[in-house]
Amino acid sequence: MQAWRSVNVLICFYSRYGNTAKLAEAVGEGAQISPQDQVWIRRVPDLEPDDVIRQDERWWRTRESLRARFPEPQIVEFQRADALVLGSPGYFGTMAAALKHWLETTMSNLWQGAEIEEKAGAAFCTTSTVHGGNEQTILGMLTVLMHIGCVISPAGYLVPTLRRNQMPYGASAVTGPNADIPPSEEDLAMARALGFRVSHVARVLLASRGQEEFRRHFRQWTDPPPTP
Ligand SMILES: Cc1cc2nc3c(=O)[nH]c(=O)nc-3n(C[C@H](O)[C@H](O)[C@H](O)COP(=O)(O)O)c2cc1C
């Protein structure tokens, strides 16, 4: 295996009131293992028109601030990413429509392409209640990542001191009925650990992809048999 490779990590999230954005930043901190790594933290746009968003002053204000800090994801970033991390608030036990919409739009032409093979993948979310579907929301995002062939990098029980609150599927935070309890230091630590792990897995995959032996074995399973 080659000594060291820098990786591109795309963290693609939706957030209305900013809590999920905080987890996204923590995932990004963890993913930046070496200064050469590219970590792109990107917010997918709202689906609702301005006049709807404006009716909720907090949503409007937060949206303006998030848009100033986090650009929208670009297809070229998706193609160049060695790791893809998805994040969303849980909306009725599943990811927000804005993120699903972005994925469907972006991947409709890409999901079978060689350029998306062998990325590492991970997911995080926030919900208002403990049993409000946070695990379900993460599993939904992981399902999408599986459909594009990602090697899933789950949280496991990564950080022993945080075992009381964490879940093994990804990073999460519970923000309360008014979405006004920001992620705790423990939640952020867990998100950083997840970012580190997915970035590390991406690096291992990238290094092994460069090996001729790996390519030879991989082709044996993926290339059509030679015509007699
Ligand atoms: C349309 C909608 C549906 C929601 N559905 C759920 C839900 O099923 N379970 C839950 O615990 N919280 C639910 N919530 C609350 C959000 O998941 C929670 O406030 C989240 O932390 C917001 O993240 P954000 O600050 O990044 O926007 C819902 C919120 C909205 C607006």
pLDDT in tens, 20-62: 999 999 999 999 999 999 999 999 999 999 999 999 999 999 9
Considering the four listed CATH numbers 3.40.50.360, 3.40.50.720, 2.60.110.10, 3.40.50.970, the one that applies to the domain covering 8-222 is 3.40.50.360
Whether 78 is in the pocket of ligand 1, judged by its Cβ within 6 Å, is: no
Q: Which of 17, 27, 91, 184 to mutate to test the pocket of ligand 1 (most atoms within 8 A of CB)?
A: 91
pLDDT in tens, 82-135: 999 999 999 999 999 999 999 999 877 776 665 556 799 999 999 999 999 999
Whether 30 is in the pocket of ligand 1, judged by its Cβ within 6 Å, is: no
* Token pair belonging to 221: 């399973």
Cβ proximity of 199 and 32 under 8 Å: yes
Instruction: Specify the pTM.
Output: 0.93
Q: 92 vs 76, which has greater pLDDT? A: 92
Of 212, 186, 201, the residue nearest 82 (C-alpha): 201
Q: How far is the CA of 90 from the centre of ligand 1 (A)?
A: 5
Interatomic CA distance for residues 44 and 94, integer angstroms: 16
Whether 175 is in the pocket of ligand 1, judged by its Cβ within 6 Å, is: yes
Cβ proximity of 29 and 21 under 8 Å: no
From the number of C-beta atoms within 10 Å of its C-beta (0-12, 13-18, 19+), residue 162 rates as: middle
pLDDT at 2: 47
pLDDT in tens, 124-179: 999 999 999 999 999 999 999 998 889 999 988 877 666 666 789 999 999 999 99
Give me the sign of the Cα torsion angle 13, 18, 19, 21. positive
